[in-house]
Structure 1
């Protein structure tokens, strides 16, 4: 009898472990998001838990959010993220503005047959999460902005360029000159083929660099699991579209937002000054701000905490 109980317990443990492993193996799929556009999306986590939509920053793809989810093991929620227009496997949308993210998220929710979900965005994706919450209030339960930047110009004298780190200041000043200036800046500093340790130190805190080294093997493993084909689109073009969208009106009013919103920022962020998040919080009703010492632009260590808030109950 004892041997049988032990065998049954072992079999159950193996089955449970296999199920958890399955939850942490990401899946990739494509969605038609209208006007002939295709979006590559990623899904990871159990199917029977609350859904969270993740929006990546600049330049990047949805893969980074998958890596953070797997590293955190936050299987109390299901994550769906995607490559934004022109990145990875998603069709470019030249001339796009910040508010153009909302139809993409809505198409994803429709594809998944989900009425509502929480949404978050990191860095250049932060404003996009806010746009989604502002423009799709009936479909977004909660919104989080992680190390996100404010608008080019805002109320009460806010100016994106005031107080930026040297490289970020140059980035926004060049963007204000037009697409070609943004393209030239990308070719000098942003293109991953341009490797400069000194520039990296100006962009990432020491803690940021440690996290990137720690997660690099996991990122490579997941990329191999997904076996993604090489992108047909130029990251440079997507970056230029992003930079130009930053210096254009966002297309929604922060003061009109009704979705519960939380803003997260590392005090040691070398890319987006914490004052951006402080200003955003002052403009968004029903919003709160959390600032974290020792944390820079990379908020990977905080993801379980952030996911838990996103799927929480009022």
Structure 2
């Protein structure tokens, strides 16, 4: 009987897992910092980060999982990392950024996902850019501030998350105060224990050395922009109309949530599934708000259709077949 053993060449694997950084010019002096990682000939996925964060964390999760069956491009949202702020922005304002990134890459289309505060942005992109987005996933995301059928953003939320949205409804000064008390201190042990379950804390500890190494490798300069201001812009966009309707999404959609999530209530994902035609929902016990554990699963679903062509062709040159 013949057996095959496939071995990935070390040098090629390392090349695919070495991220690169590039800037996308948006006009009017605005710039978006973007990151790319993965084989260039694999299906393209655009990732949208949460609040407060940068696109780099999604690169870290990708490298940790070794999900090189796809090519990931993510970016710093307005006011975070190296991207120009956009005061007063709405949820739908992410759409021109995604379109510009795809144009910059010369890509006709891509799958997209968003995590946490980026989940609603990914859904908005799917609703408003259906000719460029093939599939969309929302991971640990939030619904709109209000919705039909009595939905309220604060329903099912943890005390801290409820406080965050109640403060946002009061206006920018209250959101700024919340950032200074809570959101800007998510890495501190006393705040982490309030908003992250045990498994999330464990995963974050495991990934921190990898993130530190990648930051050193990329040698990114300190952000010239205020994370506090970017957070306030985010929070105010949550309590404003998104600029699109969930019911208008026509591309395949799936929502993912952890039942132990203390930051984005699973109730939001359950409600949004009912608003989006033919949307799927996957709920995971013991998982919280972290994307890391779900990332390979999310990416695999996003590119599953596109991978069919890859599987039908010859193995990529990264693989060596040895017969015994």
Alpha-carbon shift at residue 17 of structure 1 (Å): 1.5
Q: Secondary structure at the match of 1:107?
A: helix
Q: Secondary structure at the match of 2:136?
A: strand
What is the aligned partner in structure 2 of residue 210 from structure 1? 202
The structure-2 alpha-carbon separation of the partners of 1:77 and 1:15, relative to structure 1 and needing over 3 Å to count, comes to closer
1:259–1:286 CA contact under 8 A, matched in 2: no
Alpha-carbon shift at residue 163 of structure 1 (Å): 2.2
Check if 1:300 corresponds to 2:292. Answer: yes
1:266–1:299 CA contact under 8 A, matched in 2: no
What is the aligned partner in structure 2 of residue 281 from structure 1? 273
What is the aligned partner in structure 2 of residue 241 from structure 1? 233
Give the distance between the partners of 2:154 and 2:259, measured in 1 at CA: 18
What is the aligned partner in structure 1 of residue 104 from structure 2? 111
Alpha-carbon shift at residue 121 of structure 1 (Å): 0.3
Check if 1:256 corresponds to 2:267. Answer: no
Under a length normalisation based on structure 2, what TM-score does the superposition of the two structures give?
0.91
**Aligned with 2:58 (options 59, 62, 65):** 65
Unaligned runs of 5+ in 1: 1-12
The structure-2 alpha-carbon separation of the partners of 1:14 and 1:271, relative to structure 1 and needing over 3 Å to count, comes to closer
Unaligned runs of 5+ in 2: 1-5, 307-324
Give the distance between the partners of 2:52 and 2:126, measured in 1 at CA: 22
Alpha-carbon shift at residue 198 of structure 1 (Å): 3.1
Number of residues of Structure 1 aligned to a counterpart in Structure 2: 301
1:1-314 matches, cutoff 5 A? 16-192=9-185, 196-313=188-305
Question: For each residue in 1:210-233, what CA deviation from the matched residue of structure 2 results, as whole angstroms up to 9, or x when unmatched?
Answer: 000000000001101110001100
Give the distance between the partners of 1:100 and 1:195, measured in 2 at CA: 28
1:186–1:239 CA contact under 8 A, matched in 2: yes
Under a length normalisation based on structure 1, what TM-score does the superposition of the two structures give?
0.93
Give the distance between the partners of 1:196 and 1:118, measured in 2 at CA: 34
Give the distance between the partners of 1:22 and 1:105, measured in 2 at CA: 25
Question: For each residue in 1:221-268, what CA deviation from the matched residue of structure 2 results, as whole angstroms up to 9, or x when unmatched?
Answer: 110111000110000000000000000000001111101000000000
Give the distance between the partners of 2:168 and 2:194, measured in 1 at CA: 19
Give the distance between the partners of 1:40 and 1:92, measured in 2 at CA: 12
Q: Secondary structure at the match of 1:19?
A: helix
Q: Secondary structure at the match of 2:283?
A: strand
Bigger relative CO (Cα 8 Å, ≥ 6 apart): 2
Large movers: runs of 4+ above 2 Å: 13-16, 194-199
Q: Secondary structure at the match of 2:32?
A: strand
